[in-house]
Amino acid sequence: MTAREQILTGIRTALGRTGSASSLPAPLVAPLLRDPQLGRNLYIQVFAQNLEKLSGKVFVVPDGGAVPGALRELLRGKNAVASNAPFLKSCGVIGFEQVRSGFADREALRDSCASADIGITSADYALAETGTLVMLASPAEARLISLLPPVHVAVIPQSRILANLDELLATIPKPAEQTSSMVLITGPSRTADIEQILIRGVHGPGELYAVVVESL
């Protein structure tokens, strides 16, 4: 018997358990993921309803060419920083004069996010059931852009809206193999830590907007 087996045997004996040191635990039961109980044609509607219940705002546009029009009034007189997501470029978001993008230097990105009024990203997925944005950190989607500016705008193709967390985990069962960080954003930042008084914008953006592109 090895030293490791002796230690484990001593622990089992102290706990009143039987079995040899070499015995293996029973295999874990496979996780049960729920099948979506929602028609895919309703995903946009349900996502919008649930996000707006959390004080977010949703714009639905027919195609990528309509995205700049949906954002024009929101960006008026504001400075914005946008992620390097190719989807934003294809939708014309980078075309606004006040939108900075294409960052390769971390310090330059941090400085721009700290002074920007609005951070614009895409989203890897969205969850209709909870009105949640799913952000996978990558060179194209720096986390600071969705966390540091006081306003976050996410531009999402309809095809990236899933029913719920179960469908997300069925789609990417091992997110750690794809990214160093998966962030789930459900509504604007809010906390009630102090005297149970709800305050928005303490730990992240106080305003959240989503632009859903129907044709993609």
> Domain total for the chain?
1
Predicted local distance difference test score (pLDDT) of residue 41: 84
Q: What percent of the chain has pLDDT over 90?
A: 69
CATH number (domain holding residue 185): 3.40.50.10420
Predicted local distance difference test score (pLDDT) of residue 13: 83
Q: Which amino acid is at 70?
A: A
Query: Is 66 within the bounds of a domain?
Result: yes
Query: Is 29 within the bounds of a domain?
Result: no
Q: Residue 150: is its pLDDT beyond 90? A: yes
81: nearest Cα among 36, 34, 121, 132: 121
Query: Is 13 within the bounds of a domain?
Result: no
The tokens describing 36, both together, are: 């979506």
Task: Give the pairing type, strands 182-186 and 132-136.
Answer: antiparallel
Query: Is 26 within the bounds of a domain?
Result: no
Mean pLDDT of 1-12: 84
End-to-end CA distance of the chain: 62
pLDDT tier for residue 27 given thresholds of 50, 70 and 90? confident
The residue segments making up the domain with residue 192 are 38-213
208: nearest Cα among 51, 75, 85: 51
Query: Is 30 within the bounds of a domain?
Result: no
| Average pLDDT, rounded, for the chain | 89
- The rounded distance, in Å, linking the Cα atoms of 169 and 187 is 20
Query: Is 3 within the bounds of a domain?
Result: no
Q: Residue 208: is its pLDDT beyond 90? A: yes
Contact 121, 141 (CB under 8 A): yes
- The mean-pLDDT minimum among 49-53, 170-174, 179-183, 196-200 falls in 196-200
Predicted local distance difference test score (pLDDT) of residue 23: 60
Write the CB contacts of 80 (distance below 8 Å, at least 6 apart in sequence). 96, 98, 99, 100, 116, 117, 118, 119, 120, 149, 153
Predicted local distance difference test score (pLDDT) of residue 6: 85
pTM: 0.81
Query: Is 65 within the bounds of a domain?
Result: yes
Q: Residue 201: is its pLDDT beyond 60? A: no
- The mean-pLDDT minimum among 3-12, 122-131, 165-174 falls in 3-12
Query: Is 147 within the bounds of a domain?
Result: yes
Predicted local distance difference test score (pLDDT) of residue 49: 97
